[in-house]
Amino acid sequence: MNHPEPRAHRRARVLRVVAPTLWSMAGVVTRHLEFAGRWEVTFWRSLFAALFVLAAMLVTRGRGAWAALRASGGYGLLSGAMWAIMMIAFMLALMTTTTANTLIVNSITPLVTALLARALLREPIAPRTWAAIALAIAGMLWMFGSDFAGGEPRHVTGMLIALAVPLAAAVNLVTLKHAGRSLDLVPAVLLGSVFSAVLTLPFALPLHANAHDLLLLAMLGCLQLGLPCMLMVRASPHLSAPEMALLAMIEVLLGPLWVWLGAGETPTAATLAGGALVIAALLLNELAAFGVRLRARRPS
């Protein structure tokens, strides 16, 4: 007989894999933009995400969407603020420095999340999770070590901007866990998108995006931002904060692959080797967790 909790956990892991896979499209799509600048890209992406999430809430909940927005309360405002910081900082960093620099800074998210969850939630961190985090970060360093650029001022600026992403992501993941399963924080994604669009609009003017750019930005806002953020919120009640952060490393792994396939940037040997290390970290963590669950189900 199947137990509902393991099924929910399995579904959550699937959602949490789909979300970073969709997130990983950002680099390759932005490289094909023609006229939109970094502030305009951030504005349009956030606006389209807000429209997508709002439409999804209205379709699935009808008038209950507004009640859910009000019910999110302080947790919703805090989570929305963190979403906004991540949306703005990630895109500005991506448009300022290289994809490699942006992603290598983002790769510290699991470590920051694990430490914050341990400090605030008293959430125990399994040795296997610590080992997987260390192995995954080593993989990221290996992947991007040969391409890491930091000499020019714009790269230093881009990496400092990117540093806001793992810090905000850690706070957001811990917020989602602390809110628990009784509070729906999908409206927080809507709030974050609105906050981001409002904050970046003054810097985006005058707007220069043509029809080609708007089509790509609409895809970014709906499929690369709005949808995966909603999936992450849905998965969060059934996964630990460190586990969510670790699965998010898939984004860092797949980003260079899409750039290779879609923008002609051939991955280096270091990228392939480091990527294999990241996959090994994720697989080992999942296999270890599966073994723990199997032992727990066995009758004593």
Q: Who wins on pLDDT, 55 or 240? A: 55
Give the mean pLDDT of 49-78: 92
Residue 171: per-residue pLDDT: 92
Q: What pLDDT was estimated at residue 266?
A: 67
pLDDT digits (tens, 9 = 90+) for 241-294: 666 766 777 777 787 778 777 766 666 676 667 777 777 776 777 677 667 766
What's residue 148's pLDDT?
56
At 239, the pLDDT band (50, 70, 90 cuts) reads confident
**Which pLDDT does position 1 carry in this prediction?**
41
Q: What is the mean pLDDT of residues 231-245?
A: 74
247 or 4, higher pLDDT: 247
pLDDT, greater one: 26 or 146: 26
**pLDDT tens digits for range 177-231:** 777 667 788 899 999 999 999 999 999 999 999 999 999 999 999 999 999 999 8
Which one has a higher pLDDT value, 205 or 5?
Answer: 205
Alpha-carbon gap, residue 278 to 249, rounded angstroms = 8
pLDDT at site 281: 76
pLDDT, tens digit (0-9, with 9 covering 90-100), for 132-173: 778 878 877 776 665 555 456 777 788 889 889 989 998 998
pLDDT of 44 reads 97
Average pLDDT, the chain: 82
pLDDT at position 189 is: 94
Between 29 and 275, the higher pLDDT residue? 29
User: pLDDT tens digits, residue range 40-63?
Assistant: 999 999 999 999 999 999 999 888
Mean pLDDT of 58-83: 91
Percent of the chain with pLDDT over 70: 83
Q: Which residue has the higher pLDDT, 206 or 122?
A: 206
